[in-house]
Structure 1
Amino acid sequence: MKRYLVIGLLFFILGFSTNSWAHEIRPAYLQIKQISENSYQVLWKVPRKGDMVISLQPIFSENFTLTEASERTMSADALVFHFNLEGSSRLPGSQLTINNLEKTMVDVLVNIEYLNGEKITLMLKPDQPQILLPGKTSKWGVAKTYSILGIEHILFGFDHLLFVLALLIISVGFKKLLKTVTAFTLAHSITLSFSVLGIANLPGPPVEAVIALSIVFLAMEIIKLEKGTPTLTSKKPWLVAFSFGLLHGFGFAGALSEIGLPQTEIPLALAFFNIGVELGQIIFVIVASGAMSLLAMKKDWSLHVKQIPAYAIGSIATFWTIERIVGFWF
């Protein structure tokens, strides 16, 4: 019983300590576009939640001057800056530093477009806050960068992880679990692709609220199953996974739109972001399944104890649902 109480407590701590960044820690985004031999337009997006903005700033080599070109603006998840960058030498081979990056848990995605058509896509991390800018990025560089972004997105997307965990609990048996996870993967891959390619889209805030509500629904279904009342969800969890997975795909797309895509490599970046999401999901499923198997070895848990994970999941998701609905007006 102590084990389940600890699990429930951990769920509560996780939910209430991460509510400010309940979806995930999104990367900052730096876009640099060359407009003349020595001039560049710079777009700089820093993650925010409410009034809380991470203190980061791009620093270029001393022979470059960065000046703010217009008033900063707010998007749903970021503070947006527009700069002009002037230099007396070429940008390739110069040093880029993200000030204060080493003090955070945030990555920085960098996309650069030169007049000659060369493109750069790279990522800076807290343990690597500076880099010498190359002149061109290979397709492998794009694939690697967006795979890492996909893995980080799912592993720091606590609402998606909680949804997958609920699916694991309600999907009894390996065959049923495989069908359920496959259905969820297929569904969110479809809507992620449709949204990024402009075929279909949904507004972000309502999507995030319903994603949280989908977790509440699964928590209620788990409680019914533990009480011995089979439901359509417990019999065919793959059906629910596919239905809600379509919605989760729009959530992934919202994060990817905030991150940004290299315009000349959109299909490649999209494909490897999706692959990264699936790799992160597989890692989580393996770890969570292993932990659940160890707990299942003790078969004499009381009904109340068995229901603790479901109540913990439901409580966290309910909190997120209310928080996101309230966010519509504030």
Structure 2
Amino acid sequence: MRWIAAFLLAMMCSVPAQADELRPGYLELTETQSGIWSIGWKLPYTTPPTEAPSPPILPDNCEYSGEAKVGTAAAAIIGSATAGCEGSIAGKAFSMPGLTGQADMLVRIQPLEEPAQALRLTAVNPEAVVAVQPDTAQVLKTYFILGVEHILAGWDHLLFVIALVLLVQSWRMVVAAATAFTLAHSITLAGAALGFVGLPSAPVEALIALSIVFLAVEVLRRDEQPTWTRRFPWIIAFLFGLLHGFGFAGALTSIGLPEGDIAAALLAFNIGVEAGQLLVIAVLLLLLAGIRKLASAALEPVIQCASYGIGIIGAYWVIDRIIA
């Protein structure tokens, strides 16, 4: 019990105040005239850099026109520059120095009169090659990974899924509820990303936090008369999923969608979110099953402790997002 309590406390303390994190670095290369490229980038950091950060390393047939403008803002390095390239950059390699740890960077390349490309750089693979013939598979891979990363790093959506598992515990009902959650947020995500619907981000983020508090309270009422939420969790998950979709849309808007492959990017992103959710659900159900088998008396205290932690974090987010 002491080990479990310490583990839960460490998990709760690691939750960031700004929970909806889908903010990888980005690099945009846009050809404004034949052979002239406008370059902009953003590289988030956890600690301020001690020396001037390096700009992106361009393909070998390109050179910067003058010095790059580099500064910092909102815990990120921001840069812009102009470059001239002799001929096409298709098939050429470029890279981004300064990617460390789990950092990644979404790259968008827009040549004149050609389809845009979406690539992804990581600390392990900080170099990529511009495709000669860009295809949809490239977009699917990039946005699928972003979807998985978002559900694993977006703590408000993740805590909602965790609370759902603690509430239901039956794997069939949990999977059904999680799928309903995904279908719902897919609807509002697509609508918001395509500009058909929209809500102000501040109240949406506050209501998302409130949905976490609501589920935490429902988990703590397990010994009372079964509520409508516990009897029909997929309906609650669907309704709250519509709200969470606007949160996903706000995060996805910050990194952009590739023109010409918007449908593929949205599909891949949502599938990635669902895959990440199912991974979290599987781990939690295995953990609960292990506690139930090895120390059944500890199961309820563990669920209560986790629920209080989730509820407290959610309540803090509600207050923080209202007064921010």
TM-score interval (norm. to shorter) = 0.7 to 0.9
Which of these residues, 311, 314, 318, is aligned with residue 315 of structure 2? 318
Preserved CA contact (<8 Å) 1:11 1:316: no
What SS class does the counterpart of residue 109 from structure 2 fall into? strand
Preserved CA contact (<8 Å) 1:111 1:121: yes
Question: What does the per-residue CA deviation read over 1:89-116, in whole Å, with 9 as the maximum and x for residues that have no partner?
Answer: 4323443221201x24221111112224
Preserved CA contact (<8 Å) 2:292 2:299: no
Q: Distance in 1 between matches of 2:201 and 2:66?
A: 32
* Counterpart for residue 229 of structure 2: 233
Unaligned runs of 5+ in 2: none
Preserved CA contact (<8 Å) 2:27 2:106: yes
Which of these residues, 82, 95, 98, is aligned with residue 97 of structure 1? 95
1:286 matched to 2:282? The reply is yes
Q: Distance in 1 between matches of 2:106 and 2:299?
A: 49
Preserved CA contact (<8 Å) 1:11 1:312: no
Preserved CA contact (<8 Å) 2:212 2:311: yes
Q: Distance in 2 between matches of 1:294 and 1:218?
A: 23
Calculate the TM-score normalised by the size of structure 2.
0.87
Q: Distance in 2 between matches of 1:138 and 1:278?
A: 23
Question: What does the per-residue CA deviation read over 1:53-106, in whole Å, with 9 as the maximum and x for residues that have no partner?
Answer: 9967423246411557999897x89776543222344323443221201x2422
Identity value in percent: 38
* Counterpart for residue 23 of structure 1: 20
Question: What does the per-residue CA deviation read over 1:210-245, in whole Å, with 9 as the maximum and x for residues that have no partner?
Answer: 2122111111111111x4343222222222211111
Counterpart mapping for 1:181-200 below 5 A: 181-200=178-197
Amino acid at match of 2:29: I
Q: Distance in 2 between matches of 1:94 and 1:211?
A: 43
- Provide the aligned length of Structure 1 versus Structure 2: 320
Instruction: Name whichever of 281-290 and 57-66 sits farther off.
Output: 57-66
Evaluate the alpha carbon distance shift between residue 312 and residue 43 of structure 1 in structure 2; reply closer, same or farther with a 3 A threshold: same
* Counterpart for residue 251 of structure 2: 255
* Counterpart for residue 84 of structure 1: 82
Amino acid at match of 1:92: A
RMSD, matched Cα: 2.9
Question: What does the per-residue CA deviation read over 1:102-140, in whole Å, with 9 as the maximum and x for residues that have no partner?
Answer: x24221111112224143221111111123333332111
Which of these residues, 264, 267, 270, is aligned with residue 266 of structure 2? 270
Q: Distance in 2 between matches of 1:131 and 1:91?
A: 12
Preserved CA contact (<8 Å) 2:31 2:111: yes
